[in-house]
């Protein structure tokens, strides 16, 4: 996932709030059997289905217990391959990575709805736009809703029982109307949606934020490698993120792939979130060092499905 500017402030940043239930109310941590102030963490693999390489890496991480959740890009060429893996070896904790963009140079996809019904989402070649800015500029909300709904329904039709909704590159955060659809779809399907406790609502009309957030488990912290400082090792950079995780519900987004010829070509010209980058993420989540760091900081791993059930 690359993140829209509107969401970038949240990622890799430290959001510390102290989750307190209203008087007489349990915190999420308590509902899940932990102390009120426990540090809960979802370790989440983004972009499942975008490439075979990503599916291989994510399958390995799920089977190794290295991640607790992930989300699928339904319009991408390798989604049916992951769905087959899920049916044969799952279920796994998988949400829908609602996708309205196709960001790579030479490897593209469009929506799964008929192009004539989502014309405002597509470029001249019938592909999604590459950037969130273009989505914000062109998207007709009714068409975006049609496509988002189609992605959820397609995943269900192919045997996936989604545990949550989130958003590829944060594109549904691009406009208040899209944000409303995103949250409404989550509530309609009884699914939590990825929504941080702050950093996403500055541009929303007064009052809309509270309406949207009502009843949803907001993330107290959202962590992701955004750009890598070459003076630090990969695990040092993650070590700092993990040390910063506070009480409440947190998510660490990782981007897993095998660094191979396919993934190198998918991500050509994009070293950030590129093929080697994603292999480093895979190596890190599979490492003993990652497990040790989580244990040292007293972090409890949870899944979106646990959050969903506690809603």
Residue from 39, 154, 255, 280 touching a copy of itself (CB under 8 A): that is 154
266 is an interface residue for a copy of itself by CB under 8 A? yes
Of 174 and 258, CB closest to a copy of itself: 258
d(CA 256, CA 105): 19
Candidate segments 128-136, 192-200, 256-264, 271-279, binder of a copy of itself by CB under 8 A: 256-264
**Which residue, 21 or 114, is less far from a copy of itself as judged by CB?**
114
Nearer to a copy of itself by C-beta: 81 or 134? Answer: 81
**Residue carrying structure tokens 């890190």:** 284
What is the pairing mode between strands 69-72 and 94-98? parallel
Tokens matching residue 239:
């070590």
Please report whether residue 52 would count as binding a copy of itself according to CB under 8 A.
Answer: yes
How many angstroms from the chain centroid is the CA of residue 214? Answer: 20
Report how far residue 177's alpha carbon sits from residue 181's, in angstroms, rounded to the nearest whole number: 6
| Shorter beta-carbon distance to a copy of itself: residue 114 or 271 | 114
Q: How far apart are CA 224 and CA 187, in angstroms?
A: 26
Binding to a copy of itself by residue 142, rule CB under 8 A?
A: no
Dihedral angle computed from the Cα positions of residues 53, 276, 133 and 72, in that order, rounded to the nearest 10 degrees: 30
Nearest approach in angstroms of CB 175 to a copy of itself is 24
* Closest approach of a copy of itself to the CB of residue 173, in Å: 27
Residue closer to a copy of itself (CB basis): 127 or 175: 127
14 binds a copy of itself (CB under 8 A): no
Interface with a copy of itself, residue 125, by CB under 8 A: yes
Candidate ranges 23-31, 101-109, 215-223, 292-300; the one touching a copy of itself (CB under 8 A): 101-109
Per-residue x/- mask for a copy of itself, residues 64 to 83, rule CB under 8 A? -------------xx-xx-x
Considering only residues 201 to 220 of the shown chain, the ones binding a copy of itself according to CB under 8 A are: none
For tokens 């399907």, the residue is: 189
Q: How far is the CB of 114 from a copy of itself (least distance, A)?
A: 4
> Rounded CA gap, 122 and 128, in Å?
5
Question: Counting every residue, how long is the chain?
Answer: 311
Q: Is 88 in the site for a copy of itself (CB under 8 A)?
A: no
How many residues touch a copy of itself (CB under 8 A)?
Answer: 31
The reply on whether position 265 binds a copy of itself by CB under 8 A is yes
Question: 273: phi > 0 → left, psi -120 to 50 → alpha, else beta; which?
Answer: left
Question: What are the distances in angstroms from CA 241 to CA 165, 167, 236?
Answer: 24, 22, 9
| Smallest separation (angstroms) from a copy of itself to the CB of 171 | 20
Burial class of 110 by CB neighbour count within 10 A (0 to 12, 13 to 18, 19+): middle
* Shorter beta-carbon distance to a copy of itself: residue 18 or 84: 84
Q: For a copy of itself, which stretch binds (CB under 8 A), given 49-57, 128-136, 238-246, 300-308? A: 49-57
User: Within the chain, how many helices (H) and strands (E) appear?
Assistant: 13, 7
Long-range CB pairs of 215-218 (<8 Å, 24+ gap) are 215/187, 215/311, 216/183, 216/186, 216/192, 216/311, 217/28, 217/192, 217/249, 217/307, 217/310, 217/311, 218/249
Q: Residue 108 interacts with a copy of itself (CB under 8 A)? A: yes
Which residues are near a copy of itself by CB under 8 A? 51-53, 55-56, 77-78, 80-81, 83-84, 105-109, 112-117, 125-126, 154, 258, 260-262, 265-266
């Amino acid at each position: 996932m690359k993140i829209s500017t509107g969401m970038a402030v949240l990622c890799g940043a430290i959001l510390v709030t102290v989750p307190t239930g209203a008087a007489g109310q349990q915190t999420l941590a308590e509902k899940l059997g932990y102390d009120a102030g426990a540090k809960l963490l979802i370790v989440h693999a983004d972009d499942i289905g975008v490439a075979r390489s990503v599916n291989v890496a994510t399958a390995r991480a799920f089977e190794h217990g290295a991640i607790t959740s992930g989300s699928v890009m339904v319009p991408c060429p390798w989604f049916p391959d992951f769905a087959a893996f899920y049916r044969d070896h799952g279920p796994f904790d998988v949400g829908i990575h609602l996708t309205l963009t196709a960001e790579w140079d030479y490897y593209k996809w469009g929506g799964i709805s008929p192009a004539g019904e989502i014309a405002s989402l597509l470029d001249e070649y019938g592909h999604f736009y590459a950037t969130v800015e273009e989505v914000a500029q062109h998207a007709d909300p009714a068409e975006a809703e049609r496509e988002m709904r189609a992605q959820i329904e397609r995943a269900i039709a192919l045997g996936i029982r989604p545990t949550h909704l989130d958003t590829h590159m944060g594109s549904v955060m691009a406009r208040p109307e899209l944000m409303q659809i995103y949250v409404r779809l989550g509530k309609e399907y009884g699914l939590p949606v990825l929504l941080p406790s702050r950093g996403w609502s500055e541009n929303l009309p007064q009052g809309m934020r509270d309406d949207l957030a009502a009843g949803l488990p907001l993330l107290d912290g959202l962590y992701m490698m955004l750009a890598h400082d070459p003076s630090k090792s990969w695990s040092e950079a993650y070590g700092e993120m993990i040390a910063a995780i506070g009480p409440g519900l947190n998510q660490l987004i990782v981007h897993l792939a095998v660094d191979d010829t396919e993934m190198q070509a998918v991500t050509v010209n994009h070293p950030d979130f590129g093929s080697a980058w994603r292999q480093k993420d895979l190596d890190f989540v599979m490492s003993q060092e990652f497990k040790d760091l989580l244990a040292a900081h007293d972090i409890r791993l949870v899944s979106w499905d646990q959050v969903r059930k506690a809603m």
